[in-house]
Structure 1
Amino acid sequence: MVDLLLAVVHHLLAFGIAAAITAQLVLVRPGMQPPAVQLAAKYDIALGIMSASLVVIGFSRVFFGAKGSAFYIHNHVFWTKVVLFAIIGLLSIKPTRAFLRWRKAQAADAAFAPGEEEIRSIRKTLMTEIHIFALLPIAAAAMARGYGYA
C-alpha cells in the first residue's frame, strides 16, 4: 500500500510540474501584461514546492518502495532521470530570478512589464525545461520495464 501511495503522489507531482511549466509558457510571452507577472511568479512558487516534494517522494520510493533500493541504486536509467531533473532545476534558476526581479519592479511601479528581449530569453529557458522534462516519462517507462538495471 505504501508503494502504491508513493507512486500515485510521485506521478501527480510530475503532472503538476509539467502543468506549472506549461502555464508559465502561456503567461511569459511578448506583450506580457502586469497581472501575468504575478501569476507566473505564483506558478514558479508552486513549481518549486512540487519539485522539492517530487525529490522527497522519489527518494522515498527508492528506500521504501516495493522494488527496493538495490533496483534503483544500480540502475543507470534511474540516475539519468535524476541528472535530467537536476538539469531542469538548474535551468529553472534563471526564470525564478527573473520573476523575483519583475515582482520587485512591479512593487515599485504597478504598470511594470518586462522587456521583450528578457521575455524571449525566459521563454527559451522554459521551453528547454519542458523539452527535457518530456524525457523523464520515457526514462521512467524504460526503467519500469527493467532497462538500465545492472
Structure 2
Amino acid sequence: MDYVVVKYLHFLGIFALSSTLIAQHLLIKPEISVKTLRKLASIDSIYGLSAVVTLLAGLALWLWVGKAAEFYTSNPIFHIKLTLFVLIGLISIYPTLFFIKTRRNTDRDSAELIKIPKGVVMTIRAEIAGLLVLPLLAVLMAQGIGFS
C-alpha cells in the first residue's frame, strides 16, 4: 500500500507542476498588471511546492518503496531524467526571484503595468519544453531501454 500512496503523490505532484507551469505561461505577457503579478507569484509558489512533492515522492519510489533501487540506479535513462528534472528546477529560480522581487517592490494598489523581461518568458517556455521530455524518458525506462 505504501507504493500506491507514494506513486499517487508522485502523480499529483507531476500534474500540479504541469498545471501551474501552463497557467504561468498563459498569464504572462510582455506587460502585466500588479494583480496578474500577484497571481503569477501565487501560482509560482504552488509550482515550487508541487516540485518538492514530486521530488520527494520520486526519491521515495527510488530508494524505499516499489522496485529495488538498482532498477533505477543502473539505468542511464533514469540519470538523464533526474538531471533534466533538477535542471528544470534550477532554471525556475530566475522567474521565481523575479516574481518575489517585483512583488515586494510594487505597490499593491498600483495601476502601473509591469514589464516582464523576455528571459522570464523564455525560461518558463524552456521549463515546459523540458517537462515534455520527462514522460518520454519515463516510458523508455518502463520499456527497459537503458538497461545493460
Under a length normalisation based on structure 1, what TM-score does the superposition of the two structures give?
Answer: 0.91
Quick one: distance in 2 between partners of 1:26 and 1:90? 21
1:92-107 alignment runs, 5 A limit: 92-107=92-107
Distance of 1:77 and 1:107 partners within structure 2: 47
Which residue pairs with 1:14 in the alignment?
A: 14
Matched with 1:143 is 141
The number of residues matched between the two structures is 148
Q: Following TM superposition, by how much is the alpha carbon of 1:30 offset from its aligned partner in structure 2, in angstroms? A: 2.5
Structure 2 residue aligned with 1:2: 2
Structure 2: which 5+ residue stretches go unaligned?
Answer: none
Q: Which has the higher helix share?
A: 1
Moved over 3 A (4+): none
Distance 2:86 2:25 in 1: 20
Question: Per-residue displacement from partner, 1:53-109 (whole Å, max 9, x unpaired)?
Answer: 111110100122321101011111111111001110111011011101210122476
Equivalents in 1 of 2:92, 2:31: separation in Å?
Answer: 22
Q: What TM-score comes out, normalization by structure 2 length?
A: 0.92
Q: Distance in 2 between matches of 1:139 and 1:20?
A: 21
1:124 & 1:66 partners in 2: Cα distance? 37
Q: Which amino acid aligns with 1:55?
A: L
